[in-house]
Amino acid sequence: MMMGFLLVPTEDGIAANYNINRKHSHQLDPLLAQPRRYYEQEKFDTVEIHPEHHSVVNGNPDTKWTYDHKKVIPLGLGTERQYDIDNNSKDYNKGHPDTPPEGCEPQYDWQRKSFPNCNTIHETDLLSKARTLNRNSEPDSILLARGGYRDVWLVEDSRVDEIVAVKTLLYEHPWTERNMDRHRRDALATDRLTGSPYALDIYGYCANTGVFEFANGGTLEDAVDDKEEAWGKWDVKTKMKYAYQVAAAIADVHNIDKEGLPSMVHTDISMSQFVSVNEGVDFKINDFNRARFLYRQKDSPEELCEFYVGSNKGKFRSPEEYAYEGETEKVDVYSMGNIFYVLLTGEYPFGEMEKKAALAAIMEGKRADIPEEYRKSQDPLVQAIIKVIQMCWHQEPEKRATSRSVEQFLKPFAMSTGTSKSKHR
User: Where do the domains of the chain lie, and which CATH numbers do they carry?
Assistant: 2-75 (no CATH), 99-213 (3.30.200.20), 220-416 (1.10.510.10)
Q: Is the pLDDT of residue 263 over 80?
A: yes
Q: Is the pLDDT of residue 59 over 80?
A: no
Query: With bands split at pLDDT 50, 70 and 90, how would you rate the model's confidence at 156?
Result: confident
CA–CA distances in Å: residue 344 to residues 98, 210, 341, 350: 36, 34, 5, 15
Question: Do 243 and 419 form a contact (C-beta atoms < 8 A)?
Answer: no
Q: 68-107 pLDDT, tens per residue?
A: 333 333 333 444 443 454 444 455 555 566 777 789 999 9
What is the reported pLDDT for 96?
61
CA distance 5 to 17: 6
Residues forming beta bridges with residue 152, ordered by sequence position: 145, 167
Strands 292-293 and 264-265: antiparallel
What is the reported pLDDT for 110?
94
CA distance 242 to 340: 9
Q: What is the dihedral of CA 361, 366, 368, 372, to 10 degrees?
A: -140
CA distance 182 to 165: 18
Q: Is the pLDDT of residue 304 over 70?
A: yes
CA–CA distances in Å: residue 309 to residues 19, 28, 177, 357, 416: 28, 37, 16, 21, 39
* Whole-number percent of the chain with pLDDT over 70: 70
Q: Specify the higher pLDDT residue, 344 or 423.
A: 344
What is the reported pLDDT for 421?
58
Query: With bands split at pLDDT 50, 70 and 90, how would you rate the model's confidence at 12?
Result: very low
DSSP state of 398: G
Query: With bands split at pLDDT 50, 70 and 90, how would you rate the model's confidence at 39?
Result: very low
Question: Do 233 and 214 form a contact (C-beta atoms < 8 A)?
Answer: no
Q: Is the pLDDT of residue 54 over 60?
A: no
User: Side-chain half-sphere of 177: how many Cα atoms within 13 Å?
Assistant: 15
Q: 17-27 pLDDT, tens per residue?
A: 323 332 222 22
Helix (H, G, I), strand (E, B) or coil at 250: helix
In DSSP notation, 171-208 reads TTS---HHHHHHHHHHHHHHHHTTT-TTB--EEEEETT
The arithmetic mean of pLDDT across residues 254-283, rounded, is: 93
